[in-house]
A and B are shown apart, each in its own frame.
Chain A
Amino acid sequence: MGTRESGVTRLLREWNQGNQAAFDQLMPLVHAELHRLARSHFARERPGHTLQPTALVNEVYLKLAAENAPNFHDRSHFMAVAARAMRFVMVDYSRGKRRGKRGGDAVRVTFDENLGICGDGAAEMLAFDAALNKLEAQDARKCRIAELRCFGGLSVEETAEALSISVSTVMRDWRVAKAWLQRELS
């Protein structure tokens, strides 16, 4: 475990220093940890406890980086990786659902009724991903903001910190990005 954690710390540092390859190396680590956590959560059988996906991303941070990246700034940076990983996971999952190859649909899915969730949303997620790619081509920063907000569950302040921009810029950009995505998805 020690080697993996120090690996994450090193990669985070290198990425913060502008090494894009470090980001690409971080991705599979975070990706694997997301999968591991998601799987292990209910294996522990906690009746009545619904894990919120954003809590999962936070848990990945605690597991992989918290010890070595304890400050707010580092956490926000790590979240940028985690949010991207979460997006990939969601897209993979949705593709699998569309192909109908997941467990022959033998798995019954329950949902958080408080959120009024219904349907699996796989088709919408793939459309969302395509819309994000389109947004990225037009305005990469707005795409990053949308990714952090939607897949990382970051607040406006955390998003600003992660991208090293002001809170007011995040608010402005997010408003446009959201309208843009809503237009694409309707």
Chain B
Amino acid sequence: MLSPERWRLVDDLFHEAAELPPEQRARFLAETHADEQIKREVLSLLSAESRDSDSPELLAARVAAHWVEESSRSIVGANIDGYLVKSFLSEGGMGETYLAEEIALRRPVVLKFLSTAFSDDSGRIQRFLEEARAASALNHPNIITVHGTGVFEGRHYIVTEFIDGETVRQRLAKGPMPAADAFEVAIQAAAALCVAHQAGIIHRDIKPANVMIRWDGYVKLIDFGLARPVQRDDRREITRRGEVLGTLDYMAPEQVAGVPVDERADLYSS
């Protein structure tokens, strides 16, 4: 860094030299009383100016354009009813999930948004909210905790606890699980299902991607997106008759067939 006096000299000489045709600049500088460091600084600034490089304004405009474009598609950075959205986590058929921080309590949470594709689909919205109700009706260490629901810019979302870990599917992708570990997961998942079933809720979509293993070993059932009360209630028939939802590899035969399902369907899956 140059001292203020020497920088001022660079500034003055730059403008004086810049007035001259390029070929006369070096001679002009040579004739000044300035020392070598000053002359080098002035010359390098003059040559940088004539270089045909990206101007700083264009660079800023370019990055800003990308940011605006991406921001408009993302809610990262937004404060949504007291939840500060930190990062995108995943995208699925029903919508996206984001990692967020509940500002008041400074705890990590997950915001799960229903896809905009379903904004006008009241059936989907109802089913989405049913997921929150189903899971929140259950209080069990092996079932994901639902903190609440909300609407942001016309999109419904569910707030759940953040589970720091991996899904069984992700775990299996790394290689076979030791039998003891798999057994432990099955026991905890079955305990969760047992509680759900006692409460009259069938998950209907038990599969490796919907079972998480927290780093401390706790197993958590997530994604109650297809869960429904066990009693058939014609006024609240959420999955339309004849419409089959679920994951084929893990569905019980009666669920695929579209006939009424009960607790046994979940156990078949697990």
Contact = CB atoms under 8 A, between A and B. Distances in A.
Interface of A: 32, 35-36, 38-43, 50-54, 56, 86, 89-90, 93-94, 96, 101-104, 106-107, 109-112, 115, 117, 120-122, 124-125, 128, 137-139, 146, 149-151, 153, 172, 175-176, 178-183, 185-186
B153 interface: yes
Contacts of A53: 60-61, 64-65, 67-68
Interface of B: 1-2, 7, 11, 14-15, 18, 44-49, 51, 53-79, 87-88, 91, 153
Given A115-B61, A178-B49, 18 more contacts: A53-B65, A90-B64, A93-B70, A94-B63, A102-B76, A103-B74, A106-B88, A115-B58, A121-B59, A121-B63, A125-B59, A146-B56, A151-B60, A178-B55, A181-B56, A182-B49, A183-B48, A185-B54
Contact of A138 (B1, B15, B65): B1
Main secondary structure of the interface of B (DSSP, over half): helix
Contact of B62 (A54, A86, A121, A185): A121
A106 to B, nearest CB: 6
Contacts of A35: 71, 77-78
Nearest to A127: B59
A107 B88 CA distance: 10
B64 A56 contact: yes
A39 B56 contact: no
A156 to B, nearest CB: 12
A151 B70 CA distance: 18
